Structure 1
Amino acid sequence: MDEQLLIREIRIEDVERVSGLLNKVTKDLIKRGINQWEYPFDRELLLEQARHHHSYVVTTEEKEIIGTFCIKDIEQINDLSLKGLNKYLYQLAIIPEYQGKNAGAVVLSFAYKLVKKLNTALYLDCWAGNEKLKQFYLRNGMSYIGDFQEEGYFISVFTYNHPQKG
């Protein structure tokens, strides 16, 4: 991808556009048989994430929002207890027109730099049936932990442990 992508924290005035983006991505996933999220997306949840500074947007140089994701503190994923406080990358969505063009790798790179700076680990998960996404995470530096039951389906959990200074 020749185009420079930028990442910034979401603003309250972005919530409507991000809600539309998440609904567009969710409908596309459902159409492809990928049960990642429910449609329509919860606008109040997006507002709460923005207020707590968990949400980010991915924009083009022209300021078009083409993706979104969240990062928050986490101590546990389902039954998997984690050591200490860690970061959890979730709700990563890139509009279909930009999927496969390195936007997801830009998000992962941003998250990797953040956890390296904070000296903590990063975790994420996805629907266990999304083989394409699982392979993307593995190709981009994540390590597979395992599959875990969640409300009638399975999720695959991944981690990124940055190289320790030594």
Structure 2
Amino acid sequence: MVEIRKARLGEAEALRSLYVEAAEWIRETKGYNQWQEASFTEAYIEQFLRTRDVFVAELGGRVVGCFSVECEEELFWGERFHRDAGYVHRLVVSRKHQGLDIGGQMLAWAAGFIRSQGKSWLRLDCMADNPPLNRFYERQGLTFVGRVDVDVWRANLYEKRVNS
């Protein structure tokens, strides 16, 4: 069973490995230049851990996934931004653990966390030009609400109500 918990600063290298592995796999097998391997330095990951609410999925004592939940997200959401939402970022699952619904479990956990913070919506953005990723989020019950272009990045925006 997957356990989801707050990430620890000492796990920076494990998280860096997850992101580099995912970036390489996406580029090599899908042809999408979604994430740059070189941007996931240990210093970047440590800063990520210090400044954000970062959570890991652990299976059998090993970190197999990661994501963050943030309360601020105006870059992609612009005028659509509102404080009654938690924004999921940088969701990643180890390639060795694909097919176990770890991503779905992390999103379900994030929805509960966001609800526990008194917010009504889980929101996220993802690469518009990555159809499998967009289908994954739709299968998880998120609704497409728009598309934005930020610099060279085209993102689809998704949301899901987490309270009734």
Identity of aligned residues (%): 21
**Structure 1: gaps of 5 or more residues:** none
The amino acid of 2:47's aligned partner reads E
Distance in 1 (alpha carbons) for counterparts of 2:89 and 2:52 = 13
Q: Give me the TM-score of the superposition, normalised by structure 1.
A: 0.88
**Count of aligned pairs between the two proteins:** 160
Decide whether the 8 Å contact of 1:90 with 1:124 is kept in 2: yes
Aligned CA-pair RMSD:
1.6
SS at match of 1:22: helix
Distance in 2 (alpha carbons) for counterparts of 1:33 and 1:110 = 30
Superposition pairs for residues 1-166 of structure 1, below 5 Å? 4-31=1-28, 32-40=30-38, 41-60=40-59, 62-78=60-76, 79-120=78-119, 121-164=121-164
User: Cα–Cα, structure 1 residues 114 and 163, in superposed 2: closer, same or farther, change >3 Å?
Assistant: same
Decide whether the 8 Å contact of 2:149 with 2:155 is kept in 1: yes
Decide whether the 8 Å contact of 2:71 with 2:83 is kept in 1: no
SS at match of 1:48: helix
Decide whether the 8 Å contact of 1:55 with 1:68 is kept in 2: yes
SS at match of 2:3: strand
Distance in 2 (alpha carbons) for counterparts of 1:76 and 1:90 = 13
The amino acid of 1:161's aligned partner reads R
**Structure 2: gaps of 5 or more residues:** none
SS at match of 1:146: strand
Distance in 2 (alpha carbons) for counterparts of 1:75 and 1:96 = 28
* Structure number with higher helix proportion: 2
The amino acid of 2:2's aligned partner reads L
Cα shift readout 1:48-104 (whole Å, capped 9, x = no counterpart): 2222352111110x2111111111112524334322252110111111122222000
Distance in 1 (alpha carbons) for counterparts of 2:25 and 2:79 = 30
CA displacement at 1:161 relative to structure 2: 1.4
The amino acid of 2:8's aligned partner reads R
* Structure number with higher strand proportion: 1
User: Cα–Cα, structure 1 residues 81 and 42, in superposed 2: closer, same or farther, change >3 Å?
Assistant: farther
Decide whether the 8 Å contact of 1:74 with 1:85 is kept in 2: no
Distance in 2 (alpha carbons) for counterparts of 1:39 and 1:100 = 23
SS at match of 1:83: coil
Distance in 2 (alpha carbons) for counterparts of 1:42 and 1:54 = 19
The amino acid of 2:51's aligned partner reads H
